[in-house]
Chains A and B, each alone.
Chain A
């Protein structure tokens, strides 16, 4: 089954290319975004949709094979687990104060931003202990 034979093949090709492009932008986002929380955005949305599109493309190309059901499982678990891992990493990053407060417009959790003597910038929480406060 080499070569492009039908409309389905063209759609599969478009899905695979677009999915690969989205995964690339997810990687670029991880490099270019300035802090952990922003990077988690890149690690969830374009990444999940990229994988989804690649699964759709592969399913179209492999239509009729039993592998297609496995691709469906991969897609479903990707959608379920990506937010969970982003949540866990984001939550730990926030609690350990790996947050760029200079880049925050609003911080309603208010964990000491602007408090005199409180952590500034992306200083981690154990900075306090190291300085003996």
Chain B
């Protein structure tokens, strides 16, 4: 493989990132114009050249119906979780005991694991405190659990979140991995 080929492939891997940076640049200016577009491309190229990131490998899919389901669930989860935490901060009784659980996931893709982790932080009851990439095991802190049944319910909720994310954004192989190991 010659040098231009490598450069071209790197550029292709960086394309989604470049697009996102140009979009952010245009949103910051607030108006759309060719000047903003061109300066945005220049800035995006400079940023990716000066601060290179490892390319996000592993193609992701996009399944509109599942994405819609995921988004609806995400928004309702976000609302209920913040209401829950706000109420536990306000009520005189305070918190019940916390818990730390570790849950083995079935997904093996950097991008999807990132999305799952981000989602889990914003849904009721949990924040992620550790992620073992090789073992695909995620450690979560649960804010307030009364008994072991609540812990198990949270564990099921984590796997359900994983399933929603993978069905929405996963490639065919990721979804197949999900089907091989049903919960």
A50 and B79 CA atoms in complex are apart in Å by: 10
Q: CA of A41 to CA of B143 in the docked complex: distance in angstroms?
A: 7
Highest count of chain A CB atoms <10 Å: which of B26, B90, B143? B143
CB <8 Å contact, A25 and B151? no
**Provided the pairs A87-B117, A104-B99 are in contact, do residues A73 and B27 lie with their beta carbons within 8 angstroms?**
yes
B89 at the A interface (CB under 8 A): yes
A90 B129 Cβ-Cβ under 8 A = yes
B: residues with CB less than 8 A from A are 24, 26-31, 78-79, 81-82, 84-90, 94-95, 97-102, 117-118, 120-122, 127-130, 139, 141, 143, 145, 147-148, 151
| A-B residue pairs in contact (CB < 8 Å), sample of 19 | A22-B86, A25-B85, A25-B89, A28-B89, A32-B94, A33-B95, A40-B127, A40-B141, A66-B30, A69-B28, A70-B27, A73-B28, A83-B121, A94-B100, A94-B130, A100-B98, A106-B99, A107-B99, A109-B130
Contacts of B127 in A (CB 8 A): 37, 40-41, 44, 83, 86-87, 90
When the two chains form the complex, which single residue of A68, A70, A107 contacts B100, counting CB atoms closer than 8 Å? A107
Interchain CA distance A66-B29 in the complex, whole Å: 8
Residues of B close to A49: CB separation below 8 A: 78-79, 82
Judge whether A54 is part of the interface by a CB distance below 8 angstroms.
no
Q: Are A104 and B121 closer than 8 Å at their CB atoms?
A: no
Interface centre among A32, A44, A45, A87 (most CB of B within 10 A): A45
Q: Is the interface of B mostly helix, strand, loop or mixed?
A: helix
Greatest chain A CB density within 10 A among B27, B95, B98, B151 is at B98
Chain B residues positioned under 8 Å from A83 (CB to CB) = 117-118, 120-122, 127-128
Query: Would you call A105 and B27 a contact (CB within 8 A)?
Result: no
From residue B100, how far is it (CB to closest CB) to chain A in Å? 5
Of A32, A35, A79, the residue contacting B122 (CB under 8 A) is: A79
A-B CB pair tally, cutoff 8 Å: 143
Closest 6 pairs (CB-CB, A-B)? A66-B30, A83-B121, A29-B89, A25-B86, A49-B82, A90-B129
Q: Which residues of chain B are within 8 angstroms of A41 by Cβ–Cβ distance? A: 85, 127, 141, 143
A34 within 8 A of B: yes
Q: A28-B89, A29-B88, A37-B129 are in contact. Are A104 and B100 (CB under 8 A)?
A: yes
Pick the residue among B26, B121, B145 that contacts A105 (CB under 8 A): B145
- Which residues on the B side are within 8 Å of A70 (C-beta)? 27-28, 30
Q: Please measure, in the bound complex, the distance between the C-alpha atom of A91 and the C-alpha atom of B28, giving whole angstroms.
A: 33
B88 to chain A, nearest CB (A): 7
A109 touches B85 (CB 8 A): no
Min CB–CB distance A116 → chain B (angstroms): 20
- Shortest distance between the CB of A41 and any CB in chain B (Å): 5
* Chain A residues whose C-beta falls within 8 Å of the C-beta of B81 in the assembled complex: 45
Inter-chain contacts of A73 with B (CB < 8 A) = 24, 27-28
A39 smallest CB distance to B (angstroms): 10
